[in-house]
Amino acid sequence: SDAPVLHEQKDGYSVITLNRPDRLNAFNELQHQQLRAALDACEADAGCGAIVLTGAGRGFCAGQDLSDRDPTLIGENPDLGKTLETFYNPLVRKLRAMPKPVICAVNGVAAGAGANIALACDIVIAAKSAKFIQAFSKIALIPDAGGTYWLTRLVGEARAMALALTAHPLPAQDAADWGLIWRAVEDDQLMEEATRLAEGFASGPTRAYALTKRAVHAASTNSLDAQLDLERQLQREAGRSDDYKEGVSAFLEKRPANYRRK
Ligand code: T3D
């Protein structure tokens, strides 16, 4: 298919592929719209327990398609705040709020907003040949799509600042060693590894994963007291689920748990 986003439904999870390989899967408006629709479909589908996001061809995503930002076409006074508000910010919020795990399989270069969309996912694994590039400073922009938030929290301000100011292409292994991503794997192992994770989540307690995401996300801005209160509230909710009953019963009966996504 030559659609800019491919959505494959597997047994219990979905694979969403950015598919404009000639442009290293840079975002145009149609790609944004189709990605949003695919994510909405996954969110609404109780049969979908996890999402794998990846890219077609040799890149993961080169950020905004700059051919749609040609100054001779868009004129003197572009409002990039508006495009963030319309496309990138809702995408980041949707990935974070998705009530099931989102695995990003970074198959190749992730640049500009492409890098930061990857970092908005819950678990990032990257092929060793991939690089993460905060390319923005090269075109006189600032890191967006959450970049300044992810980088400062994940790798600290010293590394965040240098990555942002220099646009240094950070190899996947360094990204993993620094704690920016979960793992760097051999290129030919990437999809196998992502699939293994997704299959695990697909047969796991989806509701508990959603609650876990909420708790972890709240931690970076909460006080300890507020976070302990939140854990109490969310654990109360988890403890009343059928999945919890099943999980404990399965443990006591020494058998695998049979979760039903409740
Ligand atoms: O505007 C707003 O709405 C605000 C939001 C902004 C968000 C942003 O993401 S701003 C940052 C935009 N992205 C970039 O600045 C990255 C631009 N790309 C690159 O720097 C390089 O392509 C890479 C470092 C990512 C990869 O380099 P390399 O040497 O491996 O590949 P290449 O030859 O540069 O790219 C291959 C093709 O993809 C090439 O086309 P061609 O020559 O084969 O016809 C190249 O022009 C095209 N391509 C790559 N990135 C983009 C792109 N075309 C349009 N837009 C791109 N972002």
55 phi, psi to nearest 5 deg:
-125, 150
- Provide the whole-model pTM: 0.98
**Residue 38 alpha carbon to ligand 1 centre in Å:** 24
Q: In degrees rounded to 5, what are phi and psi of residue 61?
A: -170, 130
Per residue in 117-167, pLDDT tens? 999 999 999 999 999 999 999 999 999 999 999 999 999 999 999 999 999
Say if domain 5-202 classifies as CATH 3.90.226.10. Answer: yes
Residue 261 has pLDDT above 80, yes or no: no
Superfamily (CATH) of domain 206-252? Lyase 2-enoyl-coa Hydratase, Chain  A, domain 2 (1.10.12.10)
The identity of residue 213, as a single letter, is K
ipTM of the complex, rounded to two decimals: 0.99
What number of CA atoms fall less than 13 Å from residue 117's CA on the CB side?
A: 31
Tokens of 101: 């795990």
Q: Which residues pair with 171 in a beta bridge?
A: 131
Distance 37 CA to ligand 1 centre (A): 24
pLDDT in tens, 17-45: 999 999 999 999 999 999 999 999 999 99
For ligand 1, mutation pick of 58, 66, 79, 142 (most atoms within 8 Å of CB): 66
Query: Ligand 1 centroid vs 154 CA: distance in angstroms?
Result: 25
User: Taking a C-beta distance cutoff of 8 angstroms, is the pair 54, 60 a contact?
Assistant: yes
Q: Where are the domains of the chain?
A: 5-202, 206-252
Whole-number Å distance between alpha carbons of 62 and 81: 19
DSSP characters for 131-198? EEE-GGGGGT----TTHHHHHHHHHHHHHHHHHHHH---EEHHHHHHHTSSSEEE-GGGHHHHHHHHH
pLDDT tens sequence across 1-19: 899 999 999 999 999 999 9
Any residues with CB less than 8 A from the CB of 184 and at least 6 apart, and which?
A: 125, 126, 127, 128, 130, 171, 172, 173, 175, 176
Which atom of ligand 1 has the smallest separation from the CA of 65? 55
136 lines ligand 1 (CB under 6 A): yes
Place of tokens 């995503």: 61
Residue 262 has pLDDT above 60, yes or no: no
